[in-house]
Amino acid sequence: MKKYLTYFRIRFIGGLQYRAAALAGISTQFAWGFLYILLYSAFCRADPEAFPMEFSQLASYVWLQQAFLALFMNWYYDSDILSMISDGSIAYELVRPLDIYTLWFTKTVAARVSKAVLRCFPILIVASLLPDPYGLTLPPTPLHAVMFVLTMVLGMFVVTAFSMLIYCACFYTVNATGVRMVAQSIADFLSGSELPLPFMPAAMRRVIEMTPFGVMQNLPFRIYSGSITGDEMWFLTGMQLFWTFILIGGGWLWMRAALKKVVVQGG
Partner 1 sequence: MIELHNISKTFRVARRNSGFGEAVKALFKREYTEIHALSDVSFRINDGEMVGYIGPNGAGKSSTIKIMSGILTPDAGECTINGLTPWKNRAAHAANIGVVFGQRSQLWWDVPVIDSFELLKDVYRISAPVYRDSLDELVTLLDLSEIVRTPARQLSLGQRMRCEIAASLLHRPSVLFLDEPTIGLDAVSKIAVREFIKKINRERGTTVILTTHDMQDIEALTERILLIGTGRILLDGSLSELKSKSSSVRRMNLQFTDGTLPPLDGVTVQSCENGHAVCSVNTDILSVSRAIEVFSSAVSITDLSVEGTTAEELIVSLYKEFDI
Binding site for partner 1 (CB under 8 A): 2-3, 6-7, 10, 88-89, 91-92, 94-99, 259-264, 266-267
CB of residue 8 to partner 1, shortest distance in Å: 11
> Of 8 and 77, which has the nearer Cβ to partner 1?
8
The distance of closest approach from Cβ of residue 261 to partner 1 in the complex, given in angstroms and rounded to an integer, is 7
Smallest gap from Cβ 179 to partner 1, in A, equals 19
Q: What is the CA radius of gyration of the chain?
A: 19
Percentages (nearest 5) of helix, strand, coil residues in the chain: 80, 0, 20
Q: Which is nearer to partner 1, 46 or 95 (CB)?
A: 95
Q: Is residue 158 classed as helix, strand or coil in its secondary structure? A: helix
- Assess whether the previous peptide bond of 133 is cis (omega < 30° from 0): yes
Considering the complex, state which of residue 83 and residue 185 has its C-beta at the smaller distance from partner 1.
83
For partner 1, which is the closer residue by CB, 149 or 264?
264
Whichever of 48 and 97 has its CB closer to partner 1, that residue is 97
The H or E element containing residue 24 is helix 19-46
| Helix (H/G/I), strand (E/B), else coil: 184 | helix
Q: How far apart, in whole angstroms, are the C-alpha atoms of residue 207 and residue 211?
A: 7
125 phi, psi to nearest 5 deg: -65, -50
78-81: long-range pairs with CB below 8 Å, 24+: 78/104, 78/107, 78/108, 78/111, 80/107, 81/107, 81/108, 81/167
Rounded to a whole number of angstroms, the minimum distance from the CB of residue 249 to partner 1 is 18
Question: Least separation, in Å, of the C-beta of 14 and partner 1?
Answer: 9
